[in-house]
Amino acid sequence: VVKVKGKIKNLKFKEEGKKLFNWAKASMPVLSNTEPEFVKERPFEGKTIGCCLHVTKETAVLVLLLKAGGANVFLCGSNPLSTNDSIAAYLVSEGINVYAWEGMTSTEYDDAIEWVSDKHLNFVLDDGGDLTVKLNKRKSQEQIQDILLGTEETTTGLIRERALLNEGSLKFPIVAVNDAMTKHFFDNRYGTGQSCMDGIMRATSLLFAGKTIVVAGYGWCGRGIALRARGLGAKVAVTEVDEVKALEAVMDGFVALPMEKAIKQADLVITATGNVNVVGKNEIKKAKNGCILANAGHFDVEIDVKYLNNFPSTEVRKGVTEFNLGNKKIYLLAEGRLVNLSCAEGHPPEVMDMSFANQAYVLRWATELKEKIKPGIYPVPEKIDRKVAVKKLSSIGVEIDKLTKKQKKYLSSWEP
Ligand SMILES: NC(=O)c1ccc[n+]([C@@H]2O[C@H](COP(=O)([O-])OP(=O)(O)OC[C@H]3O[C@@H](n4cnc5c(N)ncnc54)[C@H](O)[C@@H]3O)[C@@H](O)[C@H]2O)c1
């Protein structure tokens, strides 16, 4: 019997958490249908898995699946504002070790990561790289020697882990789950697109139709956000630093222009670049009165919150801070942190079903390997990526064609 440890807000929220969990699970058929296999095979028997993930109802479906597969799971949040306290309570009641609550301070957030990192882990599931960086930079070889593999859920985490690799300090292998086709084509694009609109609407209750909205970054997240903002009737402009992405935005029918110019007209700016200071002091100075700033990138560095904090501020609604800059008011959502996870519930379960199926299948694959993999960043094996697509299609009742022998031959031949 595993004794559950950790720190959460209150165990009494567990019944509410159970309802949310059941709701998500019903819309996550790929993961749910894997449960009987994991229960039978117990691939993670005797393994300790450390997770630094947003503590949401969808994450609950993943970690309870890992537990059903025999794992002892330690979970902390991957953002101080994104934990659902009722989910944390439900997970603890189900035997998951959780150290997370909504509204942690930066020190408490760091304590939580420290707590997971001390557990002599065999697998590491990370979203953003905070746990991986801690393990590689702050822990002794003895503390990390049993780690077989890590996985990374998001773009920013992979940037940081590739930086660790390049400086020679990555000490265990990482599988880039974010880069799987069945992850970023759907999660980053449709998940972020929809849940950002949801977060902004819940926080502000304002109308999108007719508004001028600027989306910074036309990567996977940015294009999803731009698409959904346009669908709600907004006039959408895009800012980019990549010439090809900017061209794509233009040919997709958006206006592309530099942030300095774009922000003058903007009613709402949404950043999704994974970069720092995208809406900096100079841009904020040019924003019009009443402009709302929101971020969808992993860290709270895309909007210059430090600059805004020089001005008197009030929380005018939950998650909405009004800054009085003298000549105008600027509104910041969720302290500049991930707006979809802080002001709404993060991605819909249907997309997390695919992202997390990649996570679960990669871990099972790792338990079947004969040799330890060397430190490095590895893609999700294509077989797993395609298996997730096949299972998802079948779960939603979609059939597709199969290549005939003749077609296969034609596609591998030089003959016309
Ligand atoms: N909110 C969420 O739930 C969620 C989900 C997935 C990813 N993310 C995070 O969102 C961020 C973006 O992820 P992605 O997968 O779209 O990455 P991506 O690499 O596909 O796209 C980022 C884009 O931003 C552009 N960019 C960089 N600096 C810029 C600048 N100064 N101005 C304008 N554009 C700039 C890049 O050229 C690129 O096209 C990352 O931090 C990622 O971790 C968030």
* Beta-carbon contacts of residue 110 (< 8 Å; ≥ 6 apart): none
141-184 pLDDT, tens digit per residue, is 999 999 999 999 999 999 999 999 999 999 999 999 999 999 99
Ligand 1 center from residue 155 Cα (angstroms) = 7
Q: Kindly list the protein residues whose Cβ atom lies closer than 6 A to any atom of ligand 1.
A: 154-156, 184, 188, 192, 216-222, 239-242, 245, 272-275, 278, 296-298, 338, 340-341, 347
Report the residue among 55, 132, 155 best suited for mutation to probe ligand 1: largest number of ligand atoms under 8 A from its CB.
155
Query: To test ligand 1's pocket by mutation, which of 188, 194, 283, 352 has the most ligand atoms within 8 angstroms of CB?
Result: 188
Q: Whose CA is closest to atom 20 on ligand 1?
A: 219
Give the pLDDT mean for 354-380. 97
Q: Residue 185's CB: how many other CB atoms inside 10 A?
A: 15
Residue 232: CB atoms within 10 Å: 16
Give residue 110 CA to ligand 1 midpoint distance, Å.
24
What is the end-to-end Cα distance of the chain in Å, rounded? 65
Q: What is the pLDDT of residues 327-351, one digit of tens each?
A: 999 999 999 999 999 999 999 999 9
d(CA 192, CA 197): 8
State how far the Cα of 178 lies from the Cα of 277, in Å rounded to an integer: 23
Residue with the nearest Cα to atom 5 of ligand 1? 188
To the question of pTM greater than 0.75 for the whole model, the response is yes
Please identify which residue in the block is written with the tokens 């302290």: 335
pLDDT of residue 369: 94
Q: Whose CA is nearest to atom 31 of ligand 1?
A: 278
- pLDDT tens for 176-212 read 999 999 999 999 999 999 999 999 999 999 999 999 9
